[in-house]
Structure 1
């Protein structure tokens, strides 16, 4: 969490220490398990410590739309600190270690360290920016561009928390989950990934992604990292 916040906000030593000593209940959660559900009124926020999760909505017909992938360091339901009822669900998509932080402890640390309030506010604003970019991605880009864009975003966000090495990272996301994220069928996702491979833009081995040509993948995905509002130049690396 500290690494994630420091990618978007400059923290003091006292603020880092306060975050390190924040009371937290750590729980191991298996793949495809709910962390919180739409309609819940939680008294705590969840922090993804390891593993991947997703935020999603479901139609009346049971079709799922993933609206963001949640990576280590993310607080995907931070809005529950101020919104009484959740309007989305969050589920694991790989085995996860999740830290649950009581709302009262978050409110206390924000009162004692007002700049952390600003850091958390910036975090939620960037979440909103990601949602806007995803609306554009699903609504106006073709499937090839959508997939390239999502892969660029994931690599950039993982790099910001130190989980990318030489343009390669673990990516435990299934083709079905990518389909729910970019709004196409699983079969179409498979075709798009095969085309990205054939074009020399990605290499996928199991759950491992490597990007041989970062500039070309960014171009293919129309990816401009401005909406991630990172404080460093990691997005351009």
Structure 2
């Protein structure tokens, strides 16, 4: 739960009791999935909210002819659709990219925190607002940014989101996405993705070795992708609040 709590405390300071509640809830039902497996499928009736404890996953839609659009990447600390249990059925699927460990949180847990733990509830609302802001940026990516801008923007976003949960080291982070994943997320062909990554390497914007991404000049990459991190609300530090609690 360290990644989850670190992320939530960026928005709202959590007391020791709040952190204990989260740890207990996350330990009740933990499941592990292999890479490239479905956690939830479109059309299924959702029962619980999934919390990503470890690994990378994605939301996606798949057309009848097999074409797939990745709607968002889900990283450690992310909550998969906070209020999903109010739906009659899933309107999208959630699939893993790497092996993933999730905690299933039942509806009763959210009823309890809304009544008894307002700071956890507030942190979850922050999580929802940031997820919606990320979705708006993805829409802008698909509609307005060039291929190079899309890719640069996506890489900056992933790096900052991983940094928020302590999963970066200086200018380096894990990067298990394939070129097919990137194509499905950016609306580009695999050939176009390959060409774009080659151009970024040649311009010394990125270094990709195996499943490790290095950003030698983050500021220049941000400029290339027209990236402004304000939508991630990184300047909000909830840990500064109620510091004596």
Identify the TM-score tier after normalising by the shorter chain.
over 0.9
Structure 1 CA distance, aligned partners of 2:146 and 2:179?
Answer: 17
Gaps of at least 5 residues in structure 2 are 238-245
Ranges of 4+ aligned residues in structure 1 off by more than 3 Å? 81-84
Structure 2 CA distance, aligned partners of 1:11 and 1:229?
Answer: 18
Q: Number of residues paired by the alignment?
A: 232
Within 5 Å, which residues of 2 pair with 1:177-196? 177-196=181-200
Specify the alignment match of 1:21 in structure 2: 24
Comparing 31-40 and 73-82, the one that deviates more: 73-82
Instruction: Report how far residue 189 of structure 1 moved.
Output: 0.6
Can you list the C-alpha shifts for 1:141-164, whole angstroms capped at 9, x where unaligned? Answer: 111110000000000000000000
Specify the alignment match of 2:9 in structure 1: 6
Specify the alignment match of 2:240 in structure 1: none
Specify the alignment match of 1:216 in structure 2: 220
Can you list the C-alpha shifts for 1:10-58, whole angstroms capped at 9, x where unaligned? Answer: 2222212211221531122111100111222221111111110001112
Specify the alignment match of 1:225 in structure 2: 229
Gaps of at least 5 residues in structure 1 are 233-237
Instruction: Report how far residue 138 of structure 1 moved.
Output: 0.9
Within 5 Å, which residues of 2 pair with 1:197-216? 197-216=201-220
Within 5 Å, which residues of 2 pair with 1:63-212? 63-212=67-216
- Which secondary structure does the structure 1 equivalent of 2:127 belong to? helix
Instruction: Report how far residue 7 of structure 1 moved.
Output: 2.3
Structure 2 CA distance, aligned partners of 1:190 and 1:24?
Answer: 43
Structure 2 CA distance, aligned partners of 1:7 and 1:57?
Answer: 31
RMSD: 1.4
Comparing 58-67 and 204-213, the one that deviates more: 58-67
Structure 1 CA distance, aligned partners of 2:11 and 2:186?
Answer: 26
Specify the alignment match of 1:235 in structure 2: none
In the alignment, is the contact (CA less than 8 A) between 1:168 and 1:211 conserved in 2? Answer: yes
In the alignment, is the contact (CA less than 8 A) between 2:13 and 2:119 conserved in 1? Answer: no
Specify the alignment match of 2:243 in structure 1: none
**TM-score normalised over the length of structure 1:** 0.93
Structure 1 CA distance, aligned partners of 2:98 and 2:91?
Answer: 23
Comparing 57-66 and 180-189, the one that deviates more: 57-66
Can you list the C-alpha shifts for 1:86-112, whole angstroms capped at 9, x where unaligned? Answer: 221110011111111222223223321
In the alignment, is the contact (CA less than 8 A) between 1:79 and 1:124 conserved in 2? Answer: no
In the alignment, is the contact (CA less than 8 A) between 1:7 and 1:161 conserved in 2? Answer: no
Structure 1 CA distance, aligned partners of 2:171 and 2:230?
Answer: 19
Specify the alignment match of 2:34 in structure 1: 30
**TM-score normalised over the length of structure 2:** 0.90
